[in-house]
Every structure is written in structure tokens, then in C-alpha cells.
Amino acid sequence: MSVPVPPGLFTEPPRGASAIPTPTPQASDPTVLANGQVIPRQSMPVAAEGNSFTVDLDAAPQVLGDLRTARDQLYDLRHEAAFLGKIDPGTQDDVSRDAAAVFGAVAVGGPGSLLAALTAGIDRLNELISTLETEIADYRSTEGQQVRRFDDQA
């Protein structure tokens, strides 16, 4: 025995928020457009470590200034990336919603995103600046001790 379905039942699209939360797209996720087309994503690999180098002590203040300037520029870019991750599609057509979702995922969608790459760059520059400052201070301290020893022996 079947139960008759009242007229109009299930004929209108659901209204309001979905009961099932949709996961936030990540930068490494493939993009699924409204028409069902799947576009694979490519994310930029982040290097594990940098190479070694030497710095002329006379040039060290300029090098540190340049590194701080580069870090500050990355902070500005990271702010812009966070803004890109919150683009309002402006309209509710499929193309605009797809574009906003793709921009959001590429900009702030976790590992491989622009935000993650900029944050990693900022962290590396901060480590480099700190290391250089420590090494320069240690060198100057050691040099000062050697000069004092030399003066004491003379």
C-alpha cells in the first residue's frame, strides 16, 4: 500500500541554510564548477630550507634593512591575499559563484594557498633576520674580546 503524496510536496527548492555543512575549499582541492566540470589544482611547493651564504659585515645593516623591507612587503601581500579569500561574487550566477570559490581557495585555502606561501616566506625572513642579528652581535662581541686581549698583551 502506498501513501499518496500531497500536491506540492517536494516541488519547491529548500529554503534557508543547508543542514549539512559544506567543507571550506582548500588550495589543493580540485575545483568543481557549477556545471560539474572538475578542474585539477596546482599548488606551489614550499622549499624545506634555504641555502647558506655569507654577508660582508660592512654591508650587514643594509642587508638587514632590505630583508625587513621585503618582509614588510610580504605582510602587505598577505593582507591582500586574505582580502581575495573573501570576494563576494556580486551576483548569484554560477560563473560568479565558481570564480569567487576558486579565488577564495587559491588565496586562503590552506596548504599550497597564497596565504600559506606568504606566511611561510614571512616566517623564513623573520628567522633569517634574527639569525643575522645574532651572528653579527656574536661576531662583534668576539671581535671586541680579541681586541681587548690584544690591548692587554701590548
131-138 CB contacts, 8 Å cutoff, 24+ apart: 132/55, 132/60, 132/63, 132/64, 132/67, 133/64, 136/57, 136/60
Which among 87, 74, 72 is positioned nearest to 115, based on CA atoms?
74
Report how far residue 121's alpha carbon sits from residue 105's, in angstroms, rounded to the nearest whole number. Answer: 19
Burial pattern 29-46, b for ≥16 Cβ within 10 A else e, equals bebeeeeeeeeebebeee
Each residue's pLDDT tens digit, 13-64:
555 555 556 666 666 677 777 777 777 766 555 556 666 666 677 888 898 9
- Residue 10, pLDDT score: 47
Distance CA 106, CA 120 (A): 15
55-93 residue pLDDT tens? 677 888 898 999 999 999 999 999 998 888 888 888 888
